[in-house]
Amino acid sequence: MTLGRVLVPIICAAAFSLSGTPVEKPARSNTPRGAVCDAAAPFAGFTSAAFTGANGGRERMHALCDAEFSGAHLCHWAEYQLANSHLTIPPDGAWVDASALVQIVVRGIPFYSEPYNSKVASPNSGRLLTVAGGGNCLSWNSGSGKDIGTALAPVGSETVICRTTRPIACCCTPSKEHFRGFTAAQTPGNAGGLEGMNAICDYEFAGSHLCHFMEYHRANSTISPPAGGAWISASAMGIFGGDEGSPTPVGTFTMASATAGRLIQGNGNDCTNWTMAGPGQSGTLILNPPNGSGDPRCSTQHRLRAASSGTNS
């Protein structure tokens, strides 16, 4: 009896537009498909140049993708997998952000998020933002041999040291959030409430509002924070973690989940909803690197992060 290869068919899915008609895909190629992002093909390609993990922050990684594929940004691992790319991964792999998946457990057990690279590419996965343990090359600020980053590999992903050089994997997944810029004006934490902060943003960028932390990261900004940081609202998720399974807002700075929203009620971290500037009170700053220096006391003055979107996120 001779054992040979067994040939089986492959199940293929087609992409459809919002009108329900099939989307025409470009011819198969192992080279980047073009210089402009296309929502019908969420993976843009790999940068032609290779980089270490020290690139001046995540915003700079987004900018490197945008320079080569207009509108593109650094992929996170699950985002890349969900894009169903047909391009061959470079021999040495390509940099991506790690991904995380929120675990929601009812009745008092706290939620947590953890890297799920090589395990599951869920639409609920988000970009992992923590710098704990030197991950993501300290948000792409480290080229050392002790910090680590995530790279695509034929087996899924691999952890590599940040001093090695690799191309960057660039994605075009559309986002409803749009980063508008930093205000020229600076303000302490008592700006007349969230409405006052929104008004400052709207004055300089018509139709915009103060970003919250995860909204900013979902917008894939290519502009780095100013020295000393900029005011931004904290974010939270409605986690079913109360004694009776009731929703409880849990603040998060760990991952850019699509389900995270602005943290408002009783939020002492945002200068009591941007109404206080007294001693001992603090606000939320966006910094680069995330563990960089910045004075979060509400009595200090900072510029604002402004965003616009089609929702009230």
For the residues 238-265, what does the mean pLDDT come to? 61
86 pLDDT higher than 80: yes
Q: Which two tokens stand for residue 147?
A: 């910090």
* Full 3-state SS string of 103-157: ECCCCCCCCEEEECCCCCCCCCCEEECCCHHHCHHHHHECCCCCCEEEEEECCEE
User: What share of the chain in percent tops pLDDT 90?
Assistant: 40
**pLDDT at site 147:** 92
Task: Scan for tokens 């198969």, then name that residue.
Answer: 28
Tens digits of residue pLDDT in 175-205: 888 999 999 999 999 999 999 999 999 999 9
- Predicted structure pTM score: 0.81
82 pLDDT higher than 60: yes
Tens digits of residue pLDDT in 200-251: 999 999 999 999 988 899 899 999 888 888 999 988 776 544 444 444 555 5
Task: Scan for tokens 């960057």, then name that residue.
Answer: 168
**pLDDT at site 242:** 46
- Name the band, by pLDDT with cuts 50, 70 and 90, for residue 305: confident
Task: Scan for tokens 């700006």, then name that residue.
Answer: 191
Helices (H) and strands (E) in the chain, counts: 6, 18
For the residues 152-167, what does the mean pLDDT come to? 91
Higher pLDDT, 130 or 219: 219
Separation CA 90–CA 153 (nearest Å) = 8
First to last CA, the chain: 64
Q: What is the mean pLDDT of the chain?
A: 77
Separation CA 183–CA 186 (nearest Å) = 7
Q: Which two tokens stand for residue 72?
A: 């593109």
DSSP 298: T
Separation CA 280–CA 292 (nearest Å) = 20
